[in-house]
Structure 1
Amino acid sequence: MGYPEDALAPDEELILHTHPHWKMLFWPIVTLIVVTAVAGFLGGLVWRTADESMRSILLLVVLVVWLLILAWRSIAPIVTWKSTHFIVTDRRVLVREGVMTHTGLDIPMSRISSVQFRHGLVDRMFGTGELIIGSSSEEPLEYSDIPDVEQVHALLYHQVFEAAPRYGGF
């Protein structure tokens, strides 16, 4: 069994498992490309212009700075994206985040009082948006960069309001 199945109860059915939309990786990937190009240019410049005694030290400095920027602005966001899970089952909504420190939130379907979504022009172009889940006792929970947010909204609405048992003939 894979990750989300391990978090489920024995008779719980997995309906949706997704990571945030890849849109959140746009700037980290742009940073990767730009920083690599700049490091390559600086490495070539150092190789051609520095004397032999300073060349190794300067190339090492360029390499270390490149690795630090890469780890901070590219690798960390990619790992964060990969370790963030949005899961919908027939009983609850689960959100799991983190690599070193794990955080999790479970919202039982019976506690959800409203489901909304919001997406602007750019989000609509990318097919993503923000999902807002209102629970009966807390402030609404907002989840950004949910892929296919309209379908997730409809799915969650159906799970909460249409599939729920009706009482008293209503």
Structure 2
Amino acid sequence: MSGIQLEAGEKVRVDLTSPLTSLTFPFLELILITGLCWMGIGYLDRPDLATTIPTDLRNAVVVIWLLLVTWRFILPLARSRRRRFMVTDRRVLVRAGTFKARTDSIPLRQIHHVDRRRNRIALALGGFDRPLHFKDVPKAKKAAAVINQSIGPARYS
């Protein structure tokens, strides 16, 4: 579970991460970047330019391509795979998509109300004036239903 530790006897009810469809635009950028960079490399490799253009220029274009692919595709892929929203029988665990993000644990007994709007979930917690908002939660309707089922009837403080 890479960084998320469950307590003894704790059961996972919902475990969600970003869907691969969230990488549609980064994938299209990958295709565009690869096409443009390698067309440039093909142009630099022409036989009539082989003597006038240094090979360091071609290698620089390859390095630029690699950096762009890493920045525009590989990093978003890694971030989307790290994002996590998990509901167990005792608590809600949330981890952002950044590399140094810590996992937040919210006990179910502190949750008074769950609200969902599209792919956002708002948790009303005891002791907080405002609800905690989590955006871009995949299958937010299912997650909100499981949390509502877990906390039982609406509790008011």
Q: Same-fold call, TM > 0.5?
A: yes
**CA contact under 8 A between 1:21 and 1:146: conserved in structure 2?**
no
Q: Distance in 2 between matches of 1:22 and 1:63?
A: 27
Q: Distance in 1 between matches of 2:26 and 2:52?
A: 35
Q: Distance in 1 between matches of 2:113 and 2:54?
A: 62
Question: What is the distance in 1 between the residues matched to 2:123 and 2:21?
Answer: 21
What's the TM-score once normalised by structure 1's chain length? 0.79
Match of 1:160 in 2: 151
Residue number in structure 1 paired with 2:137: 146
2:87–2:143: 8 Å Cα contact kept in structure 1?
Answer: no
Bigger helix fraction: 1
1:13 is matched with which residue?
Answer: 11
Number of equivalences? 153
Does the 8 Å CA contact 2:79/2:99 hold for their aligned counterparts? no
User: Could you say if the C-alpha distance between residues 98 and 152 of structure 1 is closer, same or farther in structure 2, counting changes exceeding 3 Å?
Assistant: closer
Identify the match of residue 24 of structure 1 among 17, 22, 25.
22
* C-alpha distance in structure 2 between counterparts of 1:21 and 1:100, whole Å: 18
Question: Which residue of the partner structure matches residue 63 of structure 1?
Answer: 62
Shift of 1:65: 0.9
For 1:145, what is the secondary structure of its paired residue? coil
Give RMSD over aligned pairs.
2.3
The CA deviation at 1:40 is: 1.6
Cα offset for 1:26? 2.0
TM normalised by structure 2 equals 0.84
Q: Which residue of structure 1 lines up, in the alignment, with residue 108 of structure 2?
A: 109
SS in 2 for 1:54: coil
Match in the other structure for 2:42: 44
* 2:95 corresponding residue in structure 1: 96
AA partner of residue 81 (structure 1): S
Q: Distance in 1 between matches of 2:106 and 2:124?
A: 10
Letter in 2 for 1:8: L
For 2:133, what is the secondary structure of its paired residue?
strand
Residue 53 of structure 1 deviates from its aligned partner by: 5.0
Classify the secondary structure of the residue corresponding to 2:32: helix
| Aligned equivalents of 1:21, 1:41: Cα separation in 2 | 32
Deviation of the 1:55 alpha carbon = 4.4
Identity of aligned residues (%): 27
Greater shift, 33-42 or 93-102, is seen at 93-102
